[in-house]
Amino acid sequence: MTTLRGGRPVARPRTAEEQRLDNVRRQYNWQLTFRRLYLSRALGILRERGAVNSKSLVKAIEDSPVFDEEKIRIISIGFDCYARGDFVSALHTLVPHLEDCLRRFLAKRDGTTTSMQGGRMREKSLDQVLGADEMKAALATIQPLHLYLQHALVDEAGLNLRNNVAHGLLSVQACSPDNANTLIHLYLLLGLLRIKA
């Protein structure tokens, strides 16, 4: 079965295992579609009441080992854009910085963030960073955060926000409250992570 997005094929499993994983992703996509309705409604109400603003969002993530103080400064600018309803700016600020935070977090967990490609050291792609055993172990405390991150950021059959932002493919329509709320939700969930003693 081929998965289409906008009339173009984005996923075509070749083996039985790939088909099983594709079915899991497809099921997850359906569940997330309905969950996002509730998420968007809840965050929309909180934003309208002023309860979700840059200050409250920073407070929710500042104790997490995923976010360095230096990164929180620029992330707070993205949070300001989100709180004002400027979802284009929010997504284009918050998506790349979330990727960098995840990469730095993997390094803190003694994971490697670079690989040798064509005789040169290069940064691993975000799907490789998320696929690292150290990252999976750290994210396992909040189920199903790993799958959620993959679906929202790098899965061609999912939202694929990271790749769409990085390659300039994110349309104005895709800079929607639903996508912005999903990204804020990911920040908040990652804000719950703590380093074990």
Reading the block at residue 35, the tokens are 């969950």
Q: Are 91 and 165 in contact (CB under 8 A)?
A: yes
Reading the block at residue 33, the tokens are 């579609």
Model pTM? 0.87
The residues spanned by each domain of the chain are: 25-191
pLDDT digit string (tens) for 22-80? 777 778 777 888 888 999 999 999 999 989 999 999 999 999 999 999 999 999 999 99
3 state DSSP class of 63 = coil
pLDDT digit string (tens) for 82-128? 999 999 999 999 999 999 999 999 999 999 998 888 888 888 999 99
